[in-house]
Amino acid sequence: MNAELFINSVAVSGRVRVDPASVRDAKGNIRAEFDLVQEVGAVVRVVPCVVTGDGAARAMQEIKQCQLVVAAGEIVTPGGLSARVWVKQWFIAEK
């Protein structure tokens, strides 16, 4: 099943893979870069997502607000939806 995240008020569904190497750019600014993996039947679609600046912090907050629980690769949303997810590292929060 899919997990649903709300980033900048836009709902996107799928599985999320986070790339920790891209969390901060060369200038030290937050850069949240991840893949949203959508499966429709036998079709797998990977949507690269990049959120920078305040939007990256917002993305992190939205993920936390969705209360995604990561355990053995599974996430569960408040609505009870579960999905396979690969989370290597959480976003770094702005200070």
Phi, psi of 92 (to 5 degrees): -90, 125
The region of weakest confidence among 9-13, 39-43, 51-55, 56-60 is 9-13
Average pLDDT over residues 63-89: 40
User: pTM of whole model > 0.85?
Assistant: no
pLDDT at 92: 31
Which pair of tokens denotes residue 30? 């937050």
| pLDDT given at position 67 | 36
Mean pLDDT of 77-87: 41
Q: Tell me what the pLDDT averaged over the chain comes to.
A: 50
In this prediction, residues 68-95 reach a mean pLDDT of 38
Domain chopping of the chain, boundaries: 3-87
Residue 38 tokens read as 């959508």
